[in-house]
Amino acid sequence: MSDIPAPVRVRMTPQIEARVAERLVRRIDARTGELVELARALIRVPTVNPPGERYPEAVALIGERLAGRGFEVVYERALGAPGDSEAYPRSNLIARVESRVAGPTVHISGRIDVAPPGVGWSVDPFAGELRGGQLLGRGAAAVKGGLAAAIIALETLKEELPRLPGAIELSVTVDGLSGAAGGLGFLGQLNYLEPPRVDHLILLEAGGAEAVAVAAAPGATESPVLLALEQAAARAGAPPLRRIPLPDASGLHALARAGLITSLAAYGPGTPGAGDAADEAVVVAELVLAAKILALAAHKVLSSAPDAASGPQPPMGSQPD
């Protein structure tokens, strides 16, 4: 007979939810320096697309970190995808951690590729320089800063999972600037992004701390994860989130049109269009705020899950039938 007690889900009263939110915000504030250094480390790996430089190195940097913090990590190379070669492999990552109580999955996805730096920079585009409360470098806003914020958010939220149902996931994908066939589209083909594996999906986009982009399948009800982001922004002290159309290039449109997932949104720190500009920058305070919003939103979705939760999911890396 096992001595391990059965998992117990904590029922979220408003008082408990407020205490958890305060704890998450406090822990993320304490990790500000760690968040900034992680974003700088990602910028220093120049994952320029085209042609797709150093994807495996950047993906491994994140994967090794998360594996060391208790996440299950799987690497998926998009063999045969446009641009994939031995010189420029299209390497993606999925990291997941589950509660002992069955429930929904919140999945955050961000691309690792960045645009060529071009000309006109006043700093080394791949040094990750700090200046005047801003982080500068190619990818600072689009979207390596957002990825760093998401990683800190999910690592911090992981500490609350014993009291929550469900799972949290992060995918780091490639070729977001060139059609996503070797990245988000490839993971979609492997059923990584669809129910029953994923219930709520957040795509990291450089949109500003006060902007959310949303798409939903025709006839779908309001996106729960979008509502959670809006509530999280208010709790974190951010300005009200404004809704803007999801960019047509986003791989989420295909999922929405197919009716495969309806609880989805796009969100992230930074300025729209910054990823093509010289001296690309993001305000450090916006990165911290984004980490808080992502952690609070994911917690809200999981803690609001109904009692009739879905069962265990297929193992990571399994192929569709």
d(CA 161, CA 8): 11
d(CA 202, CA 251): 12
pLDDT at 276: 92
| Phi and psi at residue 259, to the nearest 5° | 70, 20
In the predicted model, what is the mean pLDDT of residues 260-280? 84
pLDDT at 284: 97
In the predicted model, what is the mean pLDDT of residues 207-213? 59
d(CA 141, CA 281): 6
| pLDDT, tens only, 99-119 | 999 999 999 999 999 999 999
Q: Which domains does the chain have, with CATH numbers?
A: 14-303 (3.40.630.10)
Quote the pTM value: 0.90
| pLDDT, tens only, 128-143 | 999 999 999 999 999 9
The H or E element containing residue 145 is: helix 144-158
d(CA 9, CA 166): 10
Nearest 5°: CA angle at 168, between 13 and 302?
A: 20
Using an 8 Å Cβ cutoff, are 90 and 78 in contact?
A: yes
Mean pLDDT score across all residues of the chain? 86
DSSP annotation of 198: -
Dihedral over alpha carbons 51, 254, 152, 6 (to 10 degrees)? -130
Using an 8 Å Cβ cutoff, are 212 and 206 in contact?
A: no
d(CA 18, CA 106): 20
Strand ranges inside the chain, DSSP E: 72-77, 91-98, 101-111, 129-131, 134-136, 165-173, 200-204, 211-214, 242-245, 264-267, 281-283
Using an 8 Å Cβ cutoff, are 24 and 296 in contact?
A: yes
